[in-house]
Amino acid sequence: MHPIDNKTNTPIVMTTDCFLTMREGSSVVYKARTLKYEKDLNDERVIGKFEIEKCYWEQQGIDWAIVTEKELPITFVSNLKFLRDAYFVNDDENLALLMEEWSSFTGSVLSNLQAFDKKYNLDLGTGISLYKHALAKKILKVNM
């Protein structure tokens, strides 16, 4: 049964934590993932919500699954934490400069970003923030 607000008798909007667009060979595949701590998987209310979510995605023809902290590689989680706050950096002018320079960089990323800061007289660390933002926004792509 779909969750309902007891005070207003209105259905509660349900969400899915992650909707992934993935390439598999030459095809694009969509996957829906719900993230939960393993300890929460014994809660009947949580399981009931999962059933609704699962049915919805099955009707859409989208692969759906639950992911717990036990299934996420530590490196991946660390990388996400590293990028978390960088998504909302708002410095389009300097980001454009960094992207113009990016293809000419050689050597280590850190030394190039520090040289970028010096070249454009930016506060030390600006290049790193812009780099993290470019990764978070998928302007630059890396294997997480």
Q: What is the pTM of this model?
A: 0.61
Residues in the chain: 144
Interval 46-75: pLDDT, tens:
998 899 999 999 999 999 999 999 998 888
Query: What does the longest C-alpha to C-alpha distance in the chain come to?
Result: 61
Q: What is the pLDDT of residue 109?
A: 94
CA distance 85 to 80: 9
Q: What is the pLDDT of residue 78?
A: 87
Identify which of 21, 19, 11, 20 has the alpha carbon closest to the alpha carbon of residue 49: 11
Q: Which two tokens stand for residue 68?
A: 């717990």
Residue 128 CA: distances (Å) to CA of 18, 62, 74, 109:
27, 37, 22, 9
Q: What is the pLDDT of residue 1?
A: 64
CA distance 134 to 39: 35
Interval 18-47: pLDDT, tens:
999 999 999 999 999 999 999 999 999 899
Judge whether 12 and 4 are in contact, CB under 8 Å. Answer: yes
Tell me 26's DSSP state.
Answer: T
Q: What is the pLDDT of residue 72?
A: 86
First to last CA, the chain: 37
Task: Kindly report the number of other CB atoms within 10 A of residue 122's CB atom.
Answer: 18
